[in-house]
Structure 1
């Protein structure tokens, strides 16, 4: 898996060349970053989910924790803008 920056604070999680999930920055009313949210693009039943996805959405305190859970490291963690 790799990530590709979609917009400021928003990345696409790429698997085999296709986007499968989003990694977005959650911001509160006072513009403070509350954490990161990974969400699958397609609804999947719990029985069909596989590691690292054990739920449709996962919340993380930091981007690095989300990338670690997804198994994205090094060069794969460097988000390049699309386009």
Structure 2
């Protein structure tokens, strides 16, 4: 990329590719060096360990991910009930 601004703009809009059927299989990931890859590998293994140690109740609510070089608890969306007055 020619500028950091262009990179940031592309990275923020990359999620919109999944909406388009023609580009659903395309993944864009930030280019990282060897040190960053090693750090991400450690974070992914830590996430996997935490993922496997979840209780049944926790499995219904969240899982662990490593977005943007951070270990993060990713909450599952709950189905919304439609409340109708009768």
TM-score band by shorter chain is under 0.3
Q: What is the TM-score with the length of structure 1 in the denominator?
A: 0.24
Structure with greater proportional strand content: 1
Greater relative CO (CA pairs within 8 A, separation 6+): 1
